[in-house]
């Protein structure tokens, strides 16, 4: 493919769209980071993941559209697209993304809340039944112990005392 001015212009415009896409990816990572507790390590990991994704996308763009040749206007187009996105659209997209996440969380809450309540009710009923069963078992064991102790005290004859037992022999 020849490198005419029209081809270069198209590559520049496509690379500007790539810059907009990279800005969207940055906003997505920014929204995700806002829901994770603030930590330097987490921020570093997300930044590294963003830059790795950016480099891979830029290299794939260069391989596909520029026949593997890195040209200055491709980098400049990606920078311009990212700059325009960050200055004009970033806050709007950020608010849209956060509202989508809030709406998704509310929907998931509405779906999972009844399930949670049913499971909590089953747990409480099960615990109550377990306590009742445990109490009944303790009482049964206690009654059995008392019966065994009474049998030991009564003796083999079932409570009848004989003359031999009193020391009277005939």
Extents of the domains making up the chain: 5-115
Quote the pLDDT of residue 159: 54
Mean pLDDT (10-residue bins), the chain, 170 residues? 82 94 94 88 91 93 87 92 94 94 94 92 88 87 85 62 52
Q: At what angle do helices 40-65 and 72-84 cross, to 10 degrees?
A: 130
Alpha-carbon gap, residue 97 to 95, rounded angstroms: 5
> How many other CB atoms are there within 10 angstroms of residue 140's CB atom?
10
Cα–Cα distances in angstroms (integers) from residue 136 to residues 126, 128, 130, 145, in the given order: 15, 12, 10, 14
pTM (2 decimals)?
0.64
- pLDDT tens digits, 66-108: 888 888 999 999 999 999 999 999 999 999 999 999 999 999 9
């Amino acid at each position: 493919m020849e490198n005419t001015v029209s081809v270069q212009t198209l590559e520049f415009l496509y690379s500007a769209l790539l810059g907009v896409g990279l800005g969207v990816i940055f906003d997505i990572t920014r929204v995700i980071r806002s829901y994770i507790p603030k930590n330097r390590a987490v921020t570093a990991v997300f930044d590294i993941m963003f830059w790795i994704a950016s480099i891979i996308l830029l290299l794939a763009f260069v391989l596909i559209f520029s026949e593997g040749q890195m040209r200055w206007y491709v980098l400049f187009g990606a920078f311009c697209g990212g700059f325009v996105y960050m200055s004009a659209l970033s806050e709007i997209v950020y608010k849209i993304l956060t509202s989508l996440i809030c709406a998704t969380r509310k929907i998931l809450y509405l779906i999972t809340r009844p399930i949670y309540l049913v499971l909590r009710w089953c747990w409480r009923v099960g615990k109550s039944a377990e306590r009742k069963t445990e109490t009944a078992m303790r009482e049964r064991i206690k009654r059995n112990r008392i019966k065994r102790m009474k049998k030991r005290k009564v003796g083999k004859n079932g409570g009848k005392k004989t003359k031999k037992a009193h020391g009277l022999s005939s």
